[in-house]
């Protein structure tokens, strides 16, 4: 153990039940919380909980997996939205599937040029929990340019018209429970169909270290649908997701390319909106991948 210089007597005593732990077989992420559970309900789909953590504020978990915390949710939500919107340059209609915490639509609606954002979340309790306990994340649910639908995103996309959206963001949880169907080739093919000619699909694509198998498989699937040259991976540092390294996929149906964007517009937008993570330099840098990630993504 690390030598902290403290004697055993002066070390703080922790009880196990004030630690929230997300684990797989070999690795775990723990956050200490106050012991006060702010929200706990079982929906038709999952166990929805909010904990009051000491370091990261209120935290939403679904079936024991961290979805977002008050203190670092901005990283995920700024990166999943502003990268594609500023790469595309003319997003008018955007669809978000999942994302019931509200953070993704809050960020999209910062862009005045977007005429309508449709949010399709399957679980009304996620929205309720976040409105009550993560109000800054859930701050845009009453926005006049938002259409909120509580229904299954898989069914929605099957019935959606061809070329209906310039941007489709799959803001899913992990590929278990109700979100499993959001990781299939059939689903992504429907997304492709519903994108306009120059449309972009963005997904949260898990951690290349923590969820390596899923990570490799879904990029293969994206490439099969959008074409190998049209799929790009980018990364962000998110402390409360397992391993801290999180990935997003950028798949382009037409010409939109993440590195061909208006850097001045991005810088202006970031400054004017007071963003805390995204800026024109991060936009480029996020696509620089470490060799181990490049190796995972190498076309076999």
Q: Which residues are catalytic?
A: 171
With CA atoms as reference, report the closest residue to 247 among 106, 82, 79: 79
Tell me: does residue 98 bind ligand SAM (CB under 6 A).
yes
Report the distance separating Cα 153 and Cα 121, nearest Å. Answer: 7
Residue closer to ligand SAM, measured from CB, 43 or 198: 43
Which span sits near ligand SAM by CB under 6 A: 98-106, 132-140, 222-230, 277-285?
98-106
**CB of residue 160 vs ligand SAM: minimum separation in angstroms?**
13
The pairing of beta strand 57-62 with beta strand 65-69: antiparallel
| Chain centre distance of CA 224 | 22
Binding-site sequence positions: 46, 77, 101, 121, 152-153, 171-174, 178
DSSP state of 183: G
Residue closer to ligand SAM, measured from CB, 84 or 100: 100
Report the distance separating Cα 215 and Cα 213, nearest Å. Answer: 5
With tokens 């200490």, the residue in question is 32
194-223 residues near ligand SAM, rule: CB under 6 A: 204
Binding-site size for ligand SAM (CB under 6 A) equals: 25
Beta bridge partner(s), residue 124:
none
- Token couple for 51: 């904990």
Dihedral in degrees, nearest 10, Cα atoms 8, 10, 11, 12 = 140
DSSP state of 102: S
Tell me: does residue 59 bind ligand SAM (CB under 6 A).
no
**CB of residue 162 vs ligand SAM: minimum separation in angstroms?**
20
66-85 residues near ligand SAM, rule: CB under 6 A: 67-68, 76
Q: How distant, in Å, are the alpha carbons of 75, 150, 278 from that of 69?
A: 11, 22, 18
**CB of residue 271 vs ligand SAM: minimum separation in angstroms?**
26
Report the distance separating Cα 38 and Cα 49, nearest Å. Answer: 7
129-188 residues near ligand SAM, rule: CB under 6 A: 152-154, 171-173, 178-179, 181-182
- Token couple for 128: 């309720």
The pairing of beta strand 116-121 with beta strand 231-237: unpaired
Which span sits near ligand SAM by CB under 6 A: 2-10, 91-99, 107-115, 248-256?
91-99
276-295 residues near ligand SAM, rule: CB under 6 A: none
With CA atoms as reference, report the closest residue to 222 among 247, 245, 202: 202
Tell me: does residue 49 bind ligand SAM (CB under 6 A).
no
**CB of residue 280 vs ligand SAM: minimum separation in angstroms?**
24
Report the distance separating Cα 113 and Cα 115, nearest Å. Answer: 6
Tell me: does residue 258 bind ligand SAM (CB under 6 A).
no
Residue closer to ligand SAM, measured from CB, 173 or 286: 173
Tell me: does residue 235 bind ligand SAM (CB under 6 A).
no
**CB of residue 206 vs ligand SAM: minimum separation in angstroms?**
8
Binding residues (CB under 6 A) for ligand SAM: these are 62, 67-68, 76, 97-101, 120-123, 126, 152-154, 171-173, 178-179, 181-182, 204
């Amino acid at each position: 153990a690390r030598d902290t210089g403290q004697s055993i007597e002066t070390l703080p005593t922790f009880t196990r039940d004030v630690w929230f732990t997300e684990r797989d077989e070999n690795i775990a992420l723990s956050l200490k919380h106050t012991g006060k559970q702010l929200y706990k309900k079982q929906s038709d789909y999952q166990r929805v909980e909010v904990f009051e953590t000491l370091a990261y504020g209120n935290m939403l978990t679904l079936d024991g997996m961290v979805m977002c915390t008050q203190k670092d949710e901005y990283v995920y939500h700024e990166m999943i939205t502003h990268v594609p919107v500023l790469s595309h340059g003319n997003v008018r209609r955007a669809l978000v599937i999942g994302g019931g915490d509200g953070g993704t639509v809050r960020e999209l609606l910062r862009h005045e040029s977007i005429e309508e954002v449709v949010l399709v979340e399957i679980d009304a309790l996620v929205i309720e929990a976040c409105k009550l306990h993560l109000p800054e994340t859930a701050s845009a649910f009453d926005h006049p340019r938002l259409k909120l639908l509580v229904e299954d995103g898989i069914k929605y996309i099957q019935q959606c018209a061809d070329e209906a959206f310039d941007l489709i963001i799959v803001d899913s949880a992990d590929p278990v429970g109700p979100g499993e169907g959001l990781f299939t080739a059939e689903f992504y093919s429907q997304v492709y169909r519903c994108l306009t000619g120059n449309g972009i699909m963005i997904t949260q694509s898990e951690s290349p270290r923590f969820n390596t198998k899923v990570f490799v498989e879904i990029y293969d699937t994206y490439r099969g649908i959008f074409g190998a040259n049209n799929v790009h991976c980018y990364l962000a540092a998110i402390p409360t997701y397992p391993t801290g390294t999180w990935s997003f996929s950028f798949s382009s149906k037409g010409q939109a390319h993440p590195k061909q964007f208006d850097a001045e517009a991005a810088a202006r937008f970031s400054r004017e909106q007071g963003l805390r993570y995204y800026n024109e330099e991060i936009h480029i840098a996020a696509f620089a991948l470490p060799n181990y990630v490049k190796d995972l993504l190498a076309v076999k």
